[in-house]
Amino acid sequence: MPKISVTVNGTSYSHEVEGRLLLVHYLRDVLGLTGTHVGCDTSSCGACTIHLDGKSVKSCSLLAAQADGSSITTIEGLAPEGELHPLQVGFKEEHGLQCGFCTPGMIMCAADLLEHNSTPSEQEIREALEGNICRCTGYHNIVRAIQSASGQLETAAP
């Protein structure tokens, strides 16, 4: 069995894993990081999106072994313990979620976008989310949440 060493959310891990173990199952079942969701399981829906060496990828379509030597960030590691990332604040404030199942993947994908483009247009946000499916919100408030996180939304006074 391949032995893998990865850094996940700043912590180093080494495990022997089955060759066929999918990265999403490694994160959820071995490391207990269940914030990364399995949605469609066919690399369509994006619920399993994580960052592998800084790039957003779909962890349901990667083997854990492929990540050997890599640095991974999951939704749990996006902000320090007890704090919220600006995207998490944005999704909360702008009602960017209803059932919440797609939210970790949406936020990880949006974080990758903002890393490369700190003030994306609405069109750029919608294009960046093409690999993430939400069945509740109609996407409108997800786009607003990302605009809010990138400081592009004037929020009404409470």
Partner 1 sequence: MIPQAVDYKRAGSVSEAISLLAENPDAKILAGGHSLIPAMKLRLNSPSLLIDIARIAELRFITAGDGAVAIGAASTHNDIISNADIQSRFLAMVEAGELIGDTQVRNMGTLGGSIAHADPSADWPGVLLALNATVKVEGAGGTREIAAADFFTGFFSTALEEGEIVTEIHIPNPVAGANSSYQKFLQPASRFAIVGCAVAVVITDGVISEAKVAFNGVSGEGAFLDEAVSTALLGKAATLETIEAAVAGAAEGIDINEDHYASKVYRKHLAKVYAKRALVAACEL
Nearer to partner 1, 93 or 139 (CB): 139
Nearer to partner 1, 30 or 93 (CB): 30
What's the rounded Cα separation, in Å, for the pair 30 and 32? 6
Q: How far is the CB of 52 from partner 1 (least distance, A)?
A: 8
By CB under 8 A, tell whether 22 contacts partner 1.
Answer: yes
Chosen residue from 34, 35, 68, 136 binding partner 1 by CB under 8 A: 68
By CB under 8 A, tell whether 143 contacts partner 1.
Answer: no
Q: How far is the CB of 129 from partner 1 (least distance, A)?
A: 8
By CB under 8 A, tell whether 16 contacts partner 1.
Answer: no
By CB under 8 A, tell whether 131 contacts partner 1.
Answer: yes
Nearer to partner 1, 2 or 86 (CB): 2
What's the rounded Cα separation, in Å, for the pair 83 and 81? 6
By CB under 8 A, tell whether 110 contacts partner 1.
Answer: no
Residue closest to 87 by CA, chosen among 110, 116, 105: 110
Chosen residue from 27, 65, 87, 102 binding partner 1 by CB under 8 A: 65
By CB under 8 A, tell whether 137 contacts partner 1.
Answer: no
Q: If you write DSSP's letter for every residue of the chain in order, what string do you get?
A: --EEEEEETTEEEEEE--TT-BHHHIIIIIS--TTS--SSSSSSS-TTEEEETTEEEEGGGSBGGGGTT-EEE-GGGSS-TT---HHHHHHHHTT--SS-SSHHHHHHHHHHHHHH-SS--HHHHHHHGGG---SSSTTHHHHHHHHHHTT---PPP-
Q: Position of tokens 């999951």?
A: 74
Q: Position of tokens 């919220």?
A: 84
Q: How far is the CB of 51 from partner 1 (least distance, A)?
A: 10
List of residues contacting partner 1 (CB under 8 A): 2, 18-20, 22, 41-44, 46, 49, 52, 55-58, 61-63, 65-66, 68-69, 109, 112-113, 128, 130-132
